[in-house]
A = this chain, B = another copy of it.
Amino acid sequence: MVTVSATNFPAVNGTPERPSWPGLIEAYRQYLPVTQTTPVVTLLEGNTPLIPVPAIAQIIGKQVRVFVKYDGLNPTGSFKDRGMTMAISKAKEAGAKAVICASTGNTSAAAAAYARRGGMRAFVLIPDGYVALGKLAQALLYGAEVLAIKGNFDQALEIVREMAQSYPVTLVNSVNPYRLEGQKTAAFEIVEVLGNAPDWLCIPVGNAGNITAYWMGFCQYHQDGKCDRLPRMMGFQASGASPLVTGKVVTNPETLATAIRIGNPANWEKAIATQQASLGQFAAVTDEEILDAYRMLASQEGIFCEPASAASVAGLLKVKDQVPPGATVVCVLTGNGLKDPDTAIKHCQNSFKQGIEPEVAAVAQAMGF
Contacts and interface: CB of A to CB of B under 8 A. Distances in A.
Copies of this chain, how many? Answer: 2
Nearest to A344: B137
A144 interface: yes
A38 interface: no
Contacts of A325: none
Interface in A299-356: 299-304, 328, 336-339, 341, 344-345, 347-356
Contacts of A20: 49-50, 192-193
A16 B140 contact: no
Contacts of A138: 304, 337-338, 341, 344
Nearest to A54: B117
Nearest to A354: B148
A286 to B, nearest CB: 20
A172 to B, nearest CB: 14
A364 B163 CA distance: 7
Contacts of A336: 77, 336, 338
Given A18-B192, A192-B20, A304 B142 contact: yes
A356 B130 CA distance: 13
B117 A301 contact: yes
A249 interface: no
Interface string A91-119: 00000001000000000000011101100
A223 interface: no
Interface SS, A side: mixed
Contacts of A301: 116-117
Given A49-B44, A163-B364, A193 B351 contact: no
A164 B364 CA distance: 10
B150 A358 contact: yes
Contacts of A140: 344, 348-352
A43 interface: yes
Interface stretch (A1-9, A204-212, A266-274): A1-9
5 closest A-B pairs by beta carbon, nearest first, are A151-B358, A11-B195, A143-B299, A117-B302, A338-B338
Interface of A: 1-2, 8-18, 20-21, 43-44, 47, 49-52, 65, 70, 73-77, 98, 112-114, 116-117, 123, 125, 128, 133-134, 136-138, 140-151, 155-156, 159, 162-163, 166-167, 169, 191-198, 226, 228, 295, 298-304, 328, 336-339, 341, 344-345, 347-360, 362-364, 366-367, 369
Given A1-B18, A142-B299, A336-B336, 9 more contacts: A16-B193, A43-B51, A75-B302, A133-B352, A143-B298, A147-B366, A148-B352, A150-B356, A163-B367
16 contacts: A13-B228, A16-B194, A18-B193, A20-B193, A43-B302, A70-B75, A113-B298, A116-B300, A133-B352, A138-B304, A141-B299, A148-B354, A149-B363, A150-B358, A163-B360, A336-B336
